[in-house]
Amino acid sequence: MAALIVFVITQSTPLVMVGLLVVALYLVWVDVKDEPVDFQIKAWWFLFVLLTHVIGYLVFRVWIAARRHRRKQEAHAASPGPRGRRGGGPA
C-alpha cells in the first residue's frame, strides 16, 4: 500500500511499468487482430487490459486459449455413423 501512495503523491509512474503496459497492449492486439469476433469485443479486451494491466492480460490469455481450444474441438467433431444395418451379428 505504501508503494501505491508514492505513485499517487508524486503523480509519476516508473518507466518499467509503462513499458510493460505497452507490451501487454501490443500482445493483445497481435492475438485479437485475426480472431473472428466483432470489433466491439476486440476493443473491449484492449480496454480491459489497459485498465487492469497484468491481471487483465492473464484473464485475456485464458479466454483466448479456451476460445481456440473450443474452436479446435468443433473442427474435429465426430461425424455420425453410417446409416443402415445396426448391430454386430451376421446378416
pLDDT in tens, 38-54: 999 999 999 999 999 88
Indicate if the pLDDT at residue 5 is higher than 80: no
Indicate if the pLDDT at residue 29 is higher than 90: yes
Lookup: cell for 66: 479456451
The model's confidence at residue 63, banded by pLDDT at 50, 70 and 90, is: very high
Q: Are 34 and 71 in contact (CB under 8 A)?
A: no
Closest to 49 measured CA to CA, from 69, 19, 68, 29: 29
pTM over cut 0.85: no
Higher pLDDT, 17 or 31: 31
